[in-house]
Homo-oligomer: A and B are copies of this chain.
Amino acid sequence: MKVAKFGGTSVASGTQIKKIKSIITSDPDRKIVVVSAPGKRFSGDSKITDLLIALGNAAFAHKPAGELRENIIDRFSAIAEELHLPAQIVQEIDETIEQILSSDEPDHTKMDALKSIGEDSSAKLVSTYLEMAGYQAKYMNPKDAGIIVSDEPGNAQILPESLSALASLREEEGIIVIPGFFGFTKDGQLMTFPRGGSDITGSIVAAGVQADLYENFTDVNSVYTVNPTIVQNPKEIRTLTYREMRELSYAGFSVFHDEALIPAFEAKIPVCIKNTGNPDAPGTMVVADKKPQEKCVVGIASDTGFASLYISKYLMNRELGIGRKLLQILEEENISFEHAPSGIDEMSVIFRDNQLTRGKEEAVIRRIKSELNPDTISIDYDFAMIMVVGEGMNNTIGIANKAAAAFSDANVNIEMINQGSSELSMMFGVKTDKLNQAIQSLYKTYFD
């Protein structure tokens, strides 16, 4: 049994839903389908969920909503017409919106209900289309499916009891279509997940039914070895481990949110990332473990927006606790650090610079000066981090050598190297304006 999840672009139009119908029905193992809300059909188009949120915000602020509601209904009508579905299905969506907006519930409850309409309608459209084409298929509400969540509107967390509740889905006949992005509390209250939450639904359902495979259909052929906006037509990754996926996701790989996959990872369900527009392409498999001979560099990730705080103090390494105190000051100022390379009389702390407003920067520097009395202190911005990822690479002689040579070839100075804790990544800090040339040179070294 496979669980197939289709992202927003895969259900953005009737044409796309025709494609997913043929994907679903071409493999009898594809018994459970999870869908997102209709996404963008073209660059500049709106996502249904964004329109629904805007509608809610306007209504709760008692401001005019313009043609938001008409736009939403028009999108669903266009899909229904293209698929020759009965007009009643769209009329029911409009009635649901009316019902929510005119109810006496608190605003956050109404907002969660509004936001769920995108996925919920998507599932109804897809299941009806499959039924009308002669397949045994049915829409299933997350409450009936058994997706039980915490009471946190807009930020619901899956509760562990979902797993056993979902297991009974294995017994269902035909194809089941479940809307992503929301679940229900034990008291039956609808709650949405954080954004990107359809991946959470797909992942927990795959884990609950103990699927043989969780397929994640999106709009790219695979996960790429490097960001395609930096390197043209980069190689595709065939197989990734969960851990490699997590390291890559950390630094800018945005195919999907890695934390959404945790339920699938914990149940050791293999995940396949595929392209709705090109379903015959092999895609990228994400698995628990790889054969040793496959262990090498699999990808290069990068991210910008880092800053480096530097302090120096003569004989610092004799001062027990100074490194800890520096981290504690940052912690008390609510700054989470990424790395802390240290010399003998020096220490740097690398952190994401969006945590530091001008006022906070001054406060942090003032505290460090008065509490640690350093000889020098400075904060540098515009750092980018590059992560070279691959299982087993840190036990491979010559990997660091190749990386360092790539930076040298690209004429890029390495500002920071962090290696020694992770078994499957090496991290390099460079100046942001040197990032692209460094990445291109690393790509050439490992993949060309």
Using CB atoms and an 8 Å cutoff, list the residues of chain A in contact with chain B: 246-247, 250, 259, 262, 308, 310, 314-315, 317, 320-321, 323-324, 327-328, 331, 334, 336-348, 350, 394-398, 400-401, 403-405, 407-408, 411-423, 425-427, 429
> Are A420 and B341 touching (Cβ within 8 A)?
yes
> Are A422 and B344 touching (Cβ within 8 A)?
yes
| Least CB distance, A250 to chain B, in whole angstroms | 5
Determine the chain B residues whose CB is within 8 A of the CB of A336 once the complex forms: 317, 320
Report 12 cross-chain contacts, Cβ distance below 8 Å, ordered by A residue. A247-B343, A321-B327, A324-B324, A327-B327, A328-B328, A343-B421, A394-B413, A396-B413, A401-B407, A404-B405, A416-B420, A417-B426
> Are A417 and B419 touching (Cβ within 8 A)?
yes
> Are B405 and A405 touching (Cβ within 8 A)?
yes
| Least CB distance, A438 to chain B, in whole angstroms | 11
Q: How far is the CA of A315 from the CA of B343 in the complex (A)?
A: 27
Given A246-B345, A400-B408, 9 more A-B residue pairs with CB atoms under 8 Å apart are A317-B336, A328-B328, A339-B420, A340-B342, A341-B419, A344-B422, A394-B413, A400-B404, A416-B419
Most buried by B among A328, A347, A400, A411: A400
Determine the chain B residues whose CB is within 8 A of the CB of A308 once the complex forms: 420
> Are B412 and A346 touching (Cβ within 8 A)?
no
Cross-chain contact of A400 among B407, B422, B427 (Cβ < 8 A): B407
Determine the chain B residues whose CB is within 8 A of the CB of A412 once the complex forms: 397
Determine the chain B residues whose CB is within 8 A of the CB of A395 once the complex forms: 413
Determine the chain B residues whose CB is within 8 A of the CB of A347 once the complex forms: 421
Determine the chain B residues whose CB is within 8 A of the CB of A315 once the complex forms: 259
| Least CB distance, A186 to chain B, in whole angstroms | 25
Cross-chain contact of A348 among B320, B403, B420 (Cβ < 8 A): B420
Given the interface contacts A339-B341, A346-B421, A420-B341, does A397 sit within 8 Å of B408 by beta carbon?
Answer: yes
- Among residues of B, the one whose C-beta sits closest to the C-beta of A327 is B324
Cross-chain contact of A420 among B262, B404, B415 (Cβ < 8 A): B415
Determine the chain B residues whose CB is within 8 A of the CB of A323 once the complex forms: 327, 337, 340
> Are B429 and A414 touching (Cβ within 8 A)?
no
| Least CB distance, A270 to chain B, in whole angstroms | 19
> Are B397 and A401 touching (Cβ within 8 A)?
no
Determine the chain B residues whose CB is within 8 A of the CB of A262 once the complex forms: 314
Determine the chain B residues whose CB is within 8 A of the CB of A327 once the complex forms: 321, 323-324, 327
Given the interface contacts A247-B344, A331-B320, A405-B405, does A400 sit within 8 Å of B421 by beta carbon?
Answer: no
Q: How far is the CA of A344 from the CA of B247 in the complex (A)?
A: 7
Closest 5 A-B residue pairs measured CB to CB?
A416-B420, A343-B422, A324-B327, A401-B408, A401-B404
Q: How far is the CA of A73 from the CA of B443 in the complex (A)?
A: 73
> Are A400 and B417 touching (Cβ within 8 A)?
yes
Determine the chain B residues whose CB is within 8 A of the CB of A324 once the complex forms: 324, 327-328, 331
Q: How far is the CA of A400 from the CA of B345 in the complex (A)?
A: 21
Q: How far is the CA of A408 from the CA of B427 in the complex (A)?
A: 18
| Least CB distance, A321 to chain B, in whole angstroms | 5
Cross-chain contact of A397 among B259, B394, B413 (Cβ < 8 A): B413
Q: How far is the CA of A423 from the CA of B308 in the complex (A)?
A: 14
Q: How far is the CA of A114 from the CA of B320 in the complex (A)?
A: 33
> Are B341 and A331 touching (Cβ within 8 A)?
no
